[in-house]
Chains A and B, each alone.
Chain A
């Protein structure tokens, strides 16, 4: 029965250690912002942070998380300048199409800008290639990341 630290709150859940984190977030705790896309770490829709590092929740057994801090898209702080810049860039460039992949895209973009404040196209492609978008918003995502980087500079 692991106790998980999610968005700063402890949550005790009664599941097997090999239950994927995404199942716990969505089905047990009702935190639905991280999406289920592929279930095999291929699409990035389920991206959350563990200790600040972007991970695929669909393929991460809760038993391996331990007491490390989990951040879901719900837990992104609006007051955080990087989060703010990414959100407003996403709105300004109207990135979203159907939206299904977008929580994962935003999580990946924020994580990228935290470590690489002014990424090149290549670096964006490298960091974002694990996040699929069925609607093909890739060009707008890339532009929005540049836009957010400009805001933060």
Chain B
């Protein structure tokens, strides 16, 4: 079995953020406290056996996306994480292979790696592995994950060696990082909130580790708590603001729309998940129970609003019908011939709801950053009825200028955005793709 999206260009993933060594070394803050008991919010995990619970938690924690190389065997590791200024870290083989995987580890060693970021022999993991979030899981949860992984095929291949610049190649530096940003711990339920909210908080902040992408990073590459869920820019994509802010976050979405989006990757009037979020839906969120999706929605809607102007989009009402597209600009004519076939002139999607782009944030946000990513790299979403693909449009007769013109048309036809320098943006995105 290979990854569903092996047809998409293999791309290195990078974590952006500035890490200053000085900041790491100067950190002499107090050690985090470790509460010993797990939250009652965990009790909602379905499954009758450790393996069943483990499978559910493996999905909820989205282990597969990072621990699988593009086109590679699931959980065999090897996906590259490029960290600007630092180098490349590869995800590890977490199949039960005794030599190259985690098969020879004790349960306690596995738990320490997942929750504290320390693998056997005292080796400190780099925080590309979201162990601070996973420390919200109970030890039993992590043992169940291991029990499930042990039922899967093993891979006898080792992940490539990390390629980090000095001094980041010194793993023990992570001890300092952990002091400032490192493992939190399980936390008790907030008794002033409903059980659903507590379950949602645990799913979002624990296994789901949503903030790892959706929160901006601090100077030491830790997660910002003051701007939690306020969005970030990773791998050249805008990771959208998912705070409760009505304009730039998800505050304007209904509960039903959020639930539809998280469980299927598409919400009517908001478009379809693409890029890394499509992977998160396809490999993780679509396996969660409706009750858990609802719990996540409840928690996400309660977060502190964070305003980020680049994520706010105002949409226009456009005329519908095949005959309605203007023919007065290059971008409009290109859209009519290359895009309207699936997306329709009014963006409502000819083929299926997944092709509906109407209301999608990418159409206007952040000077078209994600729109251009999708045009240049394509995207695929695993759904209950097969993989939905948006092909990439590079190398097939459309020039960078053509793509920029299409993007400009889409942005101004469907939204009130005022795009600038799109051709440069396309060039940059194409360069990063190669």
Contact = CB atoms under 8 A, between A and B. Distances in A.
Q: Do A and B bind each other?
A: yes
Given A41-B351, A44-B341, A54-B350, A126 B386 contact: no
Interface stretch (B57-65, B302-310, B331-339): B331-339
A153 B327 CA distance: 25
Interface string A46-67: 0000000111100111011000
A124 B322 CA distance: 9
A112 interface: yes
B324 interface: yes
A129 interface: yes
Contacts of B342: 41, 56, 59
Contacts of A115: 321-323
Contact of A61 (B322, B340, B385): B385
Interface in B322-381: 322-327, 333, 336-338, 340-342, 345, 350-352, 354
B51 to A, nearest CB: 27
Interface in A35-50: 40-42, 44
A125 to B, nearest CB: 5
Contacts of B323: 112, 115-116, 119, 123-124, 126-127
Contact of A63 (B340, B350, B386, B391): B386
B387 interface: yes
A121 to B, nearest CB: 8
A116 B386 CA distance: 35
Nearest to B341: A130
Given A64-B354, A122-B327, A130-B336, 14 more contacts: A17-B384, A40-B391, A41-B342, A56-B341, A56-B350, A59-B389, A60-B351, A60-B352, A112-B322, A112-B323, A123-B324, A124-B323, A126-B323, A129-B336
9 contacts: A41-B341, A41-B342, A55-B350, A56-B350, A59-B351, A60-B352, A126-B336, A127-B322, A129-B325
Contacts of B387: 18
Contacts, number: 82
A143 interface: no
Given A17-B385, A63-B385, A115-B322, A126 B327 contact: yes
A21 B261 CA distance: 25
Interface in A56-110: 56, 59-61, 63-64, 108
**How large, as a class, is the contact surface on chain A?**
20 to 34
B386 A61 contact: yes
Contacts of A56: 341-342, 350-351
Contacts of A122: 326-327
B4 to A, nearest CB: 10
Interface in A1-59: 16-19, 40-42, 44, 53-56, 59
Nearest to B332: A126
Nearest to B382: A18
Nearest to A130: B341
A71 B268 CA distance: 26
Interface of B: 321-327, 333, 336-338, 340-342, 345, 350-352, 354, 384-389, 391
A115 B323 CA distance: 9
B341 A42 contact: yes
Contact of A42 (B326, B327, B338, B345): B338
Nearest to A53: B350
Contacts of A125: 327, 333, 336
A126 B351 contact: no
Contacts of B341: 41-42, 44, 56, 130
Contacts of A123: 323-324
Contacts of B327: 122, 125-126
What 6 A-B pairs come out closest when comparing CB atoms? A18-B386, A63-B385, A123-B323, A127-B322, A129-B336, A130-B341
Given A130-B340, A130-B341, A111 B322 contact: yes
Contacts of B385: 17-18, 61, 63-64
Nearest to A124: B323
A11 B341 CA distance: 26
Nearest to A60: B351
Contacts of A53: 350
Contacts of A61: 352, 385-386, 388
Nearest to A108: B322
Nearest to A65: B352
A111 B323 CA distance: 10
Contacts of A129: 325, 333, 336-337, 340
Contacts of B333: 125, 129
